[in-house]
Chains A and B, each alone.
Chain A
């Protein structure tokens, strides 16, 4: 398992240290490392495997073409993001947004916005290599507040590549978007609701 230091995670965790008893959403799939880190800080964690949910809904056939099927998209939203409004104080969505196409992506971001309480943070990661066919996917886990563990999950073709401008547009309904420069090809983004 690889590790990488993460300024975005550090920023996200600054909120967690200040205020115990938060309700957090982790879309990387349940794992001992993240669960232990967050619950030891006194928070409640809601876990789901967003990529696995995508594969269940869209994996039979063309993954991206299936996302434009309204019935499948509705089924996905109902199974993966059916949470009450303003339920979470923070969300770890990792790189999952990269594998969603246009209208569904907008719907997902809108739901995330709705699920988060004002003032809360969301951490997202985006690859910034434009000339590659596929990108590595991982199960992201928190080792400590500055370190992410990366458990490989194969490679996938991303739906699109995001630059700073497109990310600002994507999160335009949020209060602010903060980018973190990294030495590798992963752009870290902290979005404040």
Chain B
């Protein structure tokens, strides 16, 4: 369970996240939507403890991210925006480092490494430096480090950004599969992703929650006929027009 309770974060005059509350249970894939600058990435950072909230709290399986950061982070896998990674490391070294910090026992480490490498198709680049990887492989390396410890909750900031259509399809399949017993939050501005992987969608604009519904419910708000994706698109624009920061 990931919970946000009246989560608020200010940067000086700007309120990036404004009194945001929601809860996501295992089995759910929450699509976190909003125009650029709506506060998506700031929310991800508050949920994972990279930023501290100005007020309110975030909880991961009951652990307050501020007061019990270690327990909260141990339960969490996180792909930060842009899939940052140490350029001079190979994919294998990156995963070994994350496994060591997370205290995965050496025997389990091998099994987990093989699993994520196989699932994300990283075998061909395992011993290549991250600086030499294409955008797609880099993103998948970022997903691999987030999934390595088989966390009960995943926070993925734009997991399919930079992937080609085939890779997008694979990663979405992977997310759906993991969703069976995990809590997953996916931030995205790609609306087709909502229909493809999400069981629920939250739209924020200007840091505030404007909608919390199923993808079908979101599509219904468009009040038009046609394919679901097109209707989600129309509903999104109607809900967020004029919002967001300059």
Genuine A/B complex: no
